[in-house]
Amino acid sequence: MNNWRNRVAAALLAAGSIGAWSVYGADKAMPSAPAAVTAAAPAGADGRIVGTGLDSYAAIVDKVAPAVVTVKSERRARAAQQFPFAQDPFFRRFFPEGESPEQPRQRREGGLGSGVIFSADGYVLTNHHVVDGGEEITVELTDRRSFKAKVVGTDAPSDLAVLKIEGRNFPTLPLGDSDKVRVGDVVLAVGNPMGVGQTVTMGIISAKGRATGLGDGSFEDFLQTDAPINQGNSGGALVNTRGELVGINSQILSPSGGNIGIGFAIPVNMAQYVSKALMAGGRVHRGMLGVTVQQVTPALARSLRLDMTGGALVSSVAPNGPAAEAGVKRGDVITAINGLKLSDSNALRNHIAALGPGAKATLTIVRDGHERTLTAKLDELPSKTAEAMPTGDGPDRSGVGLSVQPLTPETARRMGIDATAGLLVTNVDPSGPAAEAGLQRGDVIEEVEGKQVQSVAELRKEFSRAGDRPALMLVRRGDSSLYLTLDQSKG
């Protein structure tokens, strides 16, 4: 019996099985194998390890890693005032000469993400949410060089941003074609998770065309991957096994905030389109059809007598919009654009947006069980991205701490704003003059210095006209209007 046990143990040792038993807690049943005894994997005639697939991704990482950077974003924040009546003469007499109640102190808030250099002259792709609100952006390369970065433009609907660092001959990543990516393709995620330093993880493409609704939700066409992505990976690279950029890592789906194998990356084709627009003019111009659409569920398909569940069901048509003028009606199902079949309503929105304002779109629709073709000339979709005042001398984001966008009827209706014109306040720096004046996010600036303002240029003009005195603003807040004064000298 002892000889039989010895033969079994020797066979297990030869197969390398003892180590596996030890890992899973079976070491109490059988002692671990000495390292010198454990057999190596079989080798071929030429001495190479015999295996299937690629044994190492080191060559790809060597090619990719230098072009993936760390992005650090900082902004000022003012701590809450401990004594709100600090300047009141009545209360100041209770403090000794030379002392004063505690005043708000400036503190720095930092953000950490990743980015990808896609141009040798220093253009960097990252996420909008990585740099949003940042006043000081720093880009750090793997060779430990550090650069101050300028924000060329950001686009909240796609969660993309383009930065610029000064220099030449930077390492870059070649761009792949995300349309050709297939579910099951092996990918590597490269970035700086949790600030530990550049990290590479591996997985596959789990799905395509995902819309999560976790961010702005406007233009989503995510590549889903199980390559581990964590906080700090945002803006980093998702590359294929040829070392080509196929996606910009953007989101994770997790109940705990940590990786559970459900990550999302913005396809590089969308990133390329957005980056070109941002570099050309600082914003993205998107096409608008003028319809509200929804998914075609199996139940809706049966009710509409459709033999498919693809496409987008039109639930409303904007009066006098491109769709209305083309003849689109409520209840139509748009199944294709310019011959390209639509999988769902999200695909419709993305394709219309990418065509751009002024483009002609040939719509294939199904109405009452019959297919027909309509042609629409697209309008421009109003930007949902806050139009921040440019930096410089005078009323700008760093000077008055204010971001606005023109108020449209659609925005007013969606947000329940009782106003028809003006500038919607989309962001207020808590440490800037705008916050001190009492402006709040969601306010509508109707007039400045008695003049109606409907654009950033008009707002700048009227602020400038106020000169050294505080600018008088008429602000709509909810169902009422109020006057506020903004002192630009406190910027």
CATH of the domain at 301: 2.30.42.10
Name the one residue in this structure whose structure tokens are 């009141």.
Answer: 88
Same domain (yes/no): 167, 230: yes
Q: What is the pLDDT of residue 383?
A: 63
Same domain (yes/no): 452, 336: no
Question: Is the pLDDT score of 368 beyond 60?
Answer: yes
Does residue 36 belong to any structural domain of this protein? yes
Same domain (yes/no): 370, 403: no
Kindly list the distances between the CA atom of residue 297 and the CA atoms of 146, 341, 422, in Å, as whole numbers in the listed order. Answer: 51, 17, 39
Same domain (yes/no): 17, 118: no
Same domain (yes/no): 268, 200: yes
Q: Is 455 a catalytic residue?
A: no
Q: How many Å apart are CA 304 and CA 112, to the nearest integer?
A: 49
Does residue 48 belong to any structural domain of this protein? no
Q: Is 368 a catalytic residue?
A: no
Q: Is 179 a catalytic residue?
A: no
Q: Note the Cα 304 to chain centre separation in Å.
A: 36
Same domain (yes/no): 317, 278: no
Helix, strand, coil fractions of the chain, as percent rounded to 5: 25, 35, 45
Question: Is the pLDDT score of 36 beyond 50?
Answer: no
Same domain (yes/no): 361, 392: no
CB 249 within 8 Å of CB 233: yes
371-408 pLDDT, tens digit per residue, is: 999 999 999 887 643 333 332 233 333 357 788 888 88
121-164 pLDDT, tens digit per residue, is: 999 999 999 998 888 999 999 999 999 999 999 998 889 999 99
Q: How many Å apart are CA 449 and CA 455, to the nearest integer?
A: 15
> Which entry of 114, 128, 155, 159 is annotated as an active-site residue?
159
Q: Note the Cα 49 to chain centre separation in Å.
A: 42
Name the one residue in this structure whose structure tokens are 């979709």.
Answer: 381
Same domain (yes/no): 299, 340: yes
Q: How many Å apart are CA 419 and CA 405, to the nearest integer?
A: 14
Q: What is the pLDDT of residue 54?
A: 67
Residue 60: helix, strand or coil by DSSP?
Answer: helix
Closest CA to 313 of 345, 283, 290, 285: 345
> Which entry of 158, 218, 234, 403 is annotated as an active-site residue?
234
Does residue 56 belong to any structural domain of this protein? no
Q: What dihedral do alpha carbons 57, 61, 64, 68 form, nearest 10°? A: 130
Question: Is the pLDDT score of 172 beyond 70?
Answer: yes
Same domain (yes/no): 254, 296: no
Q: What is the pLDDT of residue 218?
A: 64
Name the one residue in this structure whose structure tokens are 């909008």.
Answer: 128
Does residue 54 belong to any structural domain of this protein? no
Q: What is the pLDDT of residue 267?
A: 94
Paired strand residues for 139 = 71, 147
Question: Is the pLDDT score of 53 beyond 50?
Answer: yes
> Which entry of 114, 128, 129, 396 is annotated as an active-site residue?
129
Q: How many Å apart are CA 75 and CA 111, to the nearest integer?
A: 9
200-209 pLDDT, tens digit per residue, is: 999 999 999 8
Domain end point (choices 343, 364, 380): 380
Beta pairing, strands 387-388 & 402-406: antiparallel
Does residue 140 belong to any structural domain of this protein? yes
Same domain (yes/no): 192, 217: yes
Same domain (yes/no): 220, 366: no
Does residue 57 belong to any structural domain of this protein? no
Does residue 45 belong to any structural domain of this protein? no
Domain end point (choices 328, 357, 380): 380
**Residues spanned by the domain of 22:** 1-40
Does residue 55 belong to any structural domain of this protein? no
Domain end point (choices 259, 284, 309): 284
Count of the separate structural domains present in the chain: 4
Same domain (yes/no): 438, 365: no
CATH of the domain at 134: 2.40.10.120
Percent of the chain with pLDDT over 90: 38
